[in-house]
Amino acid sequence: MSEAGPLPRPEPQYATAGQQAEAAAFGMWVFLATEILFFGGLLLAYTWLRASHPEGVAEAGRHTKVVIGSVNTLVLLTSSLTMALAVHAAEQGRRKALTRLLAVTALLGLLFLGLKGYEYHGEWTEHLVPGLNFHEDSPHARTIELFYFLYFLLTGIHGIHVTIGIGLIAWLALRARHGAFSARHYTPVEVTGLYWHFVDVVWIFLYPLIYLVGRSGP
């Protein structure tokens, strides 16, 4: 059953609750724009490496765990769906559905991190961690090391973003369980949803660049 609930009182700096919600959404979009610039710089470095040393990057790409990467892609896409459904449930004031969907989204995020940790462990045992545990006999060893430096940098920063998102979503789930949101007040859910979708979009870019490179040829 839909729960409209009272319209919350805005903070002193805002004239209305609607204005506060618009400011929160705008602030999130500005933050995401800065994140795009940040990841864009790293992806530009990857593009340069791939253009300059295509054979070495292709060989490095074949070392990646494509099955784990593919499963994790499915996990994040599913979590993006559950997050979108959570926002929809919030709009309709369906508290129980909102709580369940947020909890499922957080659990899927934890599953993603668990699989990524397992993948990192495999790369450690295979001596693919630059600066700490790297050994490769290939003539393209230097390029492979640079590839894995960018790989750990990109996926590690992405993993931090996922961790932050899980924390936010879990906090929202607890608040939703206690009736903090309604059909008239769900801005925190909506804004967090934007953040989570951004995290998923970043992974959609990383997946083919990391896991599919070097696998299409003979």
CATH number at residue 195: 1.20.120.80
Residue 6 lies inside a defined structural domain of this protein: no
Residue 4 lies inside a defined structural domain of this protein: no
Q: What is the mean pLDDT of the chain?
A: 86
CB atoms within 10 A of CB 116: 20
pLDDT at 39: 84
Residue 102 lies inside a defined structural domain of this protein: yes
Q: How many domains does the chain have?
A: 1
Cα–Cα nearest to 50, from 216, 215, 198, 210: 210
**Across the strands, what pairs with 128?**
134
pLDDT at 12: 58
pLDDT at 27: 72
SS3 state of residue 72: helix
In tens, the pLDDT along 129-179 reads 998 888 888 888 899 899 999 999 999 999 999 999 999 999 999 999 988
Inter-CA distances, 129 with 69, 112, 122, Å: 18, 20, 10
pLDDT at 30: 84
Residue 198 lies inside a defined structural domain of this protein: yes
Residue 145 lies inside a defined structural domain of this protein: yes
Q: Left (φ > 0), alpha (ψ -120 to 50) or beta: where does 48 sit?
A: alpha
Tell me the whole-structure pTM to 2 decimals.
Answer: 0.85
pLDDT at 15: 46
Tell me which of 18-27, 42-51, 120-129, 178-187 is least confident.
18-27
Domain region containing 170: 18-212
Instruction: Identify the DSSP state of 65.
Output: -
pLDDT higher than threshold 90 for residue 101:
yes
Q: What is the average per-residue pLDDT within 91-103? A: 92
pLDDT higher than threshold 70 for residue 9:
no
Residue 9 lies inside a defined structural domain of this protein: no
Residue 130 lies inside a defined structural domain of this protein: yes
Residue 5 lies inside a defined structural domain of this protein: no
Q: Are 186 and 193 in contact (CB under 8 A)?
A: no
